[in-house]
Amino acid sequence: MSFKVLVFPGFGFLFCLAMLAEWIDRRMIARFQGRVGPPVFQPLADFIKLLGKEDLLPTGVNEKLMAALPLISLAACLTAGMYIPVAGVSVNNFEGDLIVVLFLLSLPSLLYFLAGWSSIGIYSILGGNRALLQFFSYEVPFLLALSGPAILNSSWNITDIMVNQSTSIWAIFVLPVGFMLAFFGLIGKLKRDPLDIPKAQSEIVAGPLTEFSGRKLAIWHLANQIQTVVGIFLLVDTYFGGGVIESRLATFLLFSFLALLILVSLSVMSAMYARLRIDQLARLGWKRLIPLSLLQIAFIVWMGKGF
């Protein structure tokens, strides 16, 4: 059990992947901008340096809460990682774990809002409010988009969804729109560039994380990176059937390729698009994306009747 928690697929494995993913992401963005980008150990150096820094907090905040928030966020992301099959290997699974994983992945956004609210600073509170508004705009389409493959394969177990698709057809070919919605939702969830409204650097400095420093900031960054990895794996498992084919090696290669593809697409989106305004995002979310995702569900149900 402790091996599962500490090494695979728990902390050690996800930590290494998170560092690697951050490096690939930063390097890709730098390349797209015509720069060279950071060396491979950069995320690790940043993390260790932050661990060794002084831990300052503004006067008047609830210190226990401020210390607990990043830890809960990290724990939620790590727990979600326990239920995600990696390269066809599923360590834990039960019926309904898709719902649990989706809940655990949405927890950091709420904690992010709380972090802003409890750190008593004008920028943090503004950022927290924006985080909550953004949460309502992307979360609903994300949930509906990920329930598409679940209904299609009539199971709420990620492993079952994955295995089912390897014998029939990948969900992305049936539901390309659903994949787009899920991808968009993932960008919003990770607060990456076109949707980095809650932490918009040029408007509200660093949003809810403005008052965090040292160890707490390191854990926030780590939680966000692990969330990136888990989110990408979730998309690969539900929409690409986890890349499962006969041989172990081929599955591993295909899975890595697909995960890398999604990661690079995320970087492309960050490098290409400017930030949306919060009202633009809310309008886009509620007027376009949610009706679209509902239409998709109707389409699946209609298709199920047709067969």
Partner 1 sequence: MTSTLIQKVFRWARRKSLWVLHYNSGGCNGCDIEFLDLLTPRYDVERLGIRQESVPRHADILLCTGPVTRQSRDRVLQIFTQIPEPKWVVVVGSCGCSGGVFQGSDYVLGGVDQVIPVDLYIPGCPCRPEIIIEGLIKLLEKIE
Rule CB under 8 A: which residues touch partner 1?
26, 30, 33-39, 41-42, 44-49, 52-56, 201, 205-206, 209-214, 217
How many other CB atoms sit within 10 Å of the CB of residue 38?
15
194 vs 214, beta carbon nearer partner 1: 214
Helix (H) or strand (E) holding 138: helix 122-152
93 vs 118, beta carbon nearer partner 1: 118
User: Which tokens hold the place of 33?
Assistant: 């901008």
62 vs 201, beta carbon nearer partner 1: 201
Q: How far is the CB of 170 from partner 1 (least distance, A)?
A: 37
* Contact in structure between 209 and 202 (CB atoms under 8 Å): no
Q: How far is the CB of 22 from partner 1 (least distance, A)?
A: 12
40 vs 250, beta carbon nearer partner 1: 40
Burial of 41 (0-12, 13-18, 19+ CB in 10 A): exposed
209 vs 289, beta carbon nearer partner 1: 209
Q: How far is the CB of 2 from partner 1 (least distance, A)?
A: 23
* Contact in structure between 170 and 241 (CB atoms under 8 Å): yes
What is the residue-wise DSSP string for 239-290? HSGGG--SSHHHHHHHHHHHHHHHHHHHHHHHHH-PPPPHHHHHHIIIIIIH
Q: How far is the CB of 211 from partner 1 (least distance, A)?
A: 6
54 vs 246, beta carbon nearer partner 1: 54
CA angle (18, 98, 302) in 5-degree steps: 130
Q: 165-181 burial, b for 16+ CB within 10 Å, e for fewer?
A: bbeeebbbebbeebbbb
Phi–psi pair at 270, nearest 5 degrees: -65, -40
User: Which tokens hold the place of 239?
Assistant: 């929409």
Q: How far is the CB of 121 from partner 1 (least distance, A)?
A: 10
Q: How far is the CB of 31 from partner 1 (least distance, A)?
A: 10
How many other CB atoms sit within 10 Å of the CB of residue 204?
23
Which residue in 36, 73, 24 sits closest to 212, CA to CA?
73
Q: How far is the CB of 55 from partner 1 (least distance, A)?
A: 7
User: Which tokens hold the place of 112?
Assistant: 């992010």
155 vs 210, beta carbon nearer partner 1: 210
Q: How far is the CB of 252 from partner 1 (least distance, A)?
A: 31
185 vs 216, beta carbon nearer partner 1: 216
